[in-house]
Amino acid sequence: MTKHLLLGQTLGFSGNPLTGNWQDAVQFDSAGGVLIEHGRIIATGNGAALQGAHPDVAVTDYGNDVISAGFVDAHMHYPQTGIIASWGKQLIDWLNTYTFPEESRFGDRAYADQVAGETLDLAIAHGTTTLTSFCTIHAESVDAFFEAAAARNMAVIAGKTCMDRNAPDTLRDTAQNAYDDSKMLLEKWHGKGRAHYAITPRFSPTSTPAQLQALGGLWAEHPTCLMQTHLSEQLPEIAWVRELFPQARDYLDTYEAYGLLGENGLYGHAIYLEPREIDRLKEVGAAVVHCPTSNTFIGSGLFDLMGLAKASLPIGLATDTGGGSSFSMLRTMAAAYEIGQLRGTALHPAQLMWLATEGSAGALKMAGEIGHLGAGAAADLTILNLQSTPAIRQRADRAGDMWDALFPTIMMGDDRAVRDVWIAGVRQSR
């Protein structure tokens, strides 16, 4: 028997609830079903109707749990798992004090294997089925991550983080070997199973113009790859970029001038964008990634989600661990809600769930493949228990409707709210 039917409260989307009426974008069934076969969703709909049409399939009944597409984390740093929640620093100090010493350890393949496996297992435990990760300058760190993801059959995006200046000796490459190693790794991993390669200059302060140019050239040779980096995260960082690139019109121009602006570009943070930068990102169809727990934890600022959504930029949602302070996309949605409140917008739970699934998948140019509860998508699923702790249960018990029942889990939930995770149609043992 190869087909499997999951029953529960199904929540998916047929459109973008940030740009139109959120009600028009939601597909919710309080007695829904998801039929899977060979690692893919082959049908969704009313649970009883699907069961009637497929009477012989195996059934897992999740009752009142919510069946969602698995969460998609559009920007994180697996080598920073060990330094998550490190006290007292803002971006540049935080990089120098905590991040760079830890990342220096990833030339050790055994250590990289250990952290890659731990990170992916933590992600799964928190309901995340796709990670988009920076690695370190070491090729070993990239192999470790892709191998660990392949062992779990997870769709992942990752790349060697390139840095040839303003970093310790232990973490510097050159323009030429950033190009050579990235090319070698890309040829090895891009499109292999569920792996996708992202060309990864860390951010313009740690790359010389020669390195940015070399990576821009590599991207032109391999345009189906994503390109991920950081953009306009913190004010002292932006001032530093201005000093390092006096000829640039703005921060985005430090990428654009070297061939690092394109449709498959993913720009993390993007808090302090100039109008020209928004226009150019929009023109090329590039995506920005909102990392709300990181933005509050390292004191970066308040992302303008509604403004950028109205400007029609693709937007993903991400933990940015270990600058981000949680592995949980539920906690990440809660932080996005809190930042929205500080900017005067109460994001609806439908909008938050969309960002964590469809929004991130769209930013990664993988819409319909991941983050989607509909026929044809990979059967990467997260099942949420809306009563996972006494505090959440007592609030959910008095809920007036489905959103009121879900919102306490978004705001207060963690890995205990994740009842089950399915990856490519296989239930994960938890």
Interacting residue ranges for ligand GUN, rule: CB under 6 A: 77, 91, 95, 99, 202-203, 230, 233, 294, 320, 323
Tokens of 132: 């988009």
Nearer to ligand GUN, 70 or 323 (CB): 323
User: Do residues 392 and 409 make contact, with C-beta atoms less than 8 angstroms apart?
Assistant: yes
- Which of 46-54, 213-221, 315-323, 337-345 is the region at the interface with Zn ion (rule: CB under 5 A)? 315-323
Nearer to ligand GUN, 77 or 419 (CB): 77
- Which of 17-25, 94-102, 238-246, 312-320 is the region at the interface with Zn ion (rule: CB under 5 A)? 312-320
Among Zn ion, ligand GUN, none, the one that 54 touches (CB under a kind-dependent 5 to 8 A) is none
Instruction: In angstroms, give the least distance from the CB of 89 to ligand GUN.
Output: 11
User: Do residues 376 and 69 make contact, with C-beta atoms less than 8 angstroms apart?
Assistant: no
Nearer to Zn ion, 268 or 349 (CB): 268
| Mask for 252-281, x = binds Zn ion (CB under 5 A) | ----------------x-------------
User: Do residues 173 and 163 make contact, with C-beta atoms less than 8 angstroms apart?
Assistant: yes
Instruction: In angstroms, give the least distance from the CB of 99 to ligand GUN.
Output: 5
Instruction: In angstroms, give the least distance from the CB of 334 to Zn ion.
Output: 19
Per DSSP bridges, beta strands 128-134 and 58-69 are unpaired
Instruction: In angstroms, give the least distance from the CB of 103 to ligand GUN.
Output: 8
Please report whether residue 320 would count as binding Zn ion according to CB under 5 A.
yes
Please report whether residue 233 would count as binding Zn ion according to CB under 5 A.
no
Minimal CA–CA distance to 304: which of 337, 282, 271?
A: 271
Nearer to ligand GUN, 134 or 354 (CB): 134
Nearer to ligand GUN, 32 or 79 (CB): 79
Nearer to Zn ion, 271 or 417 (CB): 271
User: Do residues 272 and 235 make contact, with C-beta atoms less than 8 angstroms apart?
Assistant: yes
Tokens of 291: 């990392």
Instruction: In angstroms, give the least distance from the CB of 92 to ligand GUN.
Output: 9
Instruction: In angstroms, give the least distance from the CB of 361 to Zn ion.
Output: 19
Among Zn ion, ligand GUN, none, the one that 99 touches (CB under a kind-dependent 5 to 8 A) is ligand GUN
Instruction: In angstroms, give the least distance from the CB of 327 to ligand GUN.
Output: 15
Per DSSP bridges, beta strands 161-162 and 195-201 are parallel
Residues 6+ apart with CB under 8 A from 22: 348, 350, 351
Nearer to Zn ion, 103 or 320 (CB): 320
CA separation for the pair 115, 14 (Å, rounded):
36
What is the size of the binding site for Zn ion (CB under 5 A)?
2
Instruction: In angstroms, give the least distance from the CB of 161 to ligand GUN.
Output: 8
CB count in 10 Å sphere of residue 222: 16
Nearer to Zn ion, 320 or 414 (CB): 320
Among ligand GUN, Zn ion, none, the one that 294 touches (CB under a kind-dependent 5 to 8 A) is ligand GUN
Nearer to ligand GUN, 335 or 423 (CB): 335
CA separation for the pair 401, 399 (Å, rounded):
6
- Which of 113-121, 124-132, 320-328, 377-385 is the region at the interface with Zn ion (rule: CB under 5 A)? 320-328
Contact set with Zn ion (CB under 5 A): 268, 320
